[in-house]
Amino acid sequence: MNQNPHTYPYPSSRNVIYGKKGMVATSQPLAAEAGLDILKKGGNAIDAAIATAACLTVVEPTSNGIGSDCFALVWVDGKLHGLNGSGQAPSKLTMEAVKEAGYEKELPKFGMIPVTVPGTPGAWAELSQKFGKLPLSEVLEPAIKYAEEGFPLTPTLAKYWERAYKAYSRLLEGDEFTSWFETFAPGGKVPKAGELWTSPGHAYSLRLIGETNAKAFYEGELADKIDQFFQKHGGFLRKEDLEAYKPEWVTPISVNYRGYDVWEIPPNGQGLIALEALNILKGFEFAEKESVDTYHKQMEAIKLAFVDGMKYIADPSSMSVTVEQLLSDEYAQSRRNEIGEDALTPEPGTPQKGGTVYLATADGDGNMVSFIQSNYMGFGSGIVVPETGIAMQNRGHNFSLDPSHDNALKPGKKTYHTIIPGFLTKGDQAVGPFGVMGGFMQPQGHVQVVVNTVDFGLNPQAALDAPRWMWSEGKKIHVERHLAPHIAEELARKGHDVKVELEGGPFGRGQIIWRDPESGVLVGGTESRTDGHIAVW
Question: Which residues form the catalytic set?
Answer: 356
Torsion angle in degrees (nearest 10) through CA of 356, 357, 358, 364: -160
In which element (H, E) is residue 533 found?
strand 533-536
Q: Nearest-5° angle of CA 180, CA 186, CA 187?
A: 125
Residue among 356, 515, 531 at smallest CA distance from 443: 356
Residues pairing with 536 in the sheet: 23
Q: What are phi and psi of 466, to 5 degrees?
A: -55, 140
Residues pairing with 74 in the sheet: 81, 369
Give, as one character, the DSSP assignment of residue 455: I
Residue among 282, 404, 372 at smallest CA distance from 335: 282
Residue among 198, 195, 188 at smallest CA distance from 168: 188
Question: CA–CA distance from 429 to each of 16, 64, 260 (Å)?
Answer: 22, 32, 10
CA-based Rg of the chain, rounded to a whole angstrom? 22
Cβ within 8 Å of residue 270, ≥6 positions away: 309, 313, 416, 417, 418, 420, 440, 442, 443
Distance between CA atoms of residues 31 and 58, nearest Å? 9
Is 342 in contact with 494 (CB distance < 8 Å)?
yes
Please provide the DSSP assignment of 79-129 as one string. Answer: EEEEEEEPPPPPTT--HHHHHHTT-SSB--SSSSTT-----HHHHHHHHHH
Beta strand segments in 343-488, E: 356-363, 368-374, 384-385, 390-391, 422-426, 429-437, 469-473, 476-480
Is 257 in contact with 454 (CB distance < 8 Å)?
yes
In which element (H, E) is residue 367 found?
none
Cβ within 8 Å of residue 242, ≥6 positions away: 117, 217, 218, 219, 223, 226, 227
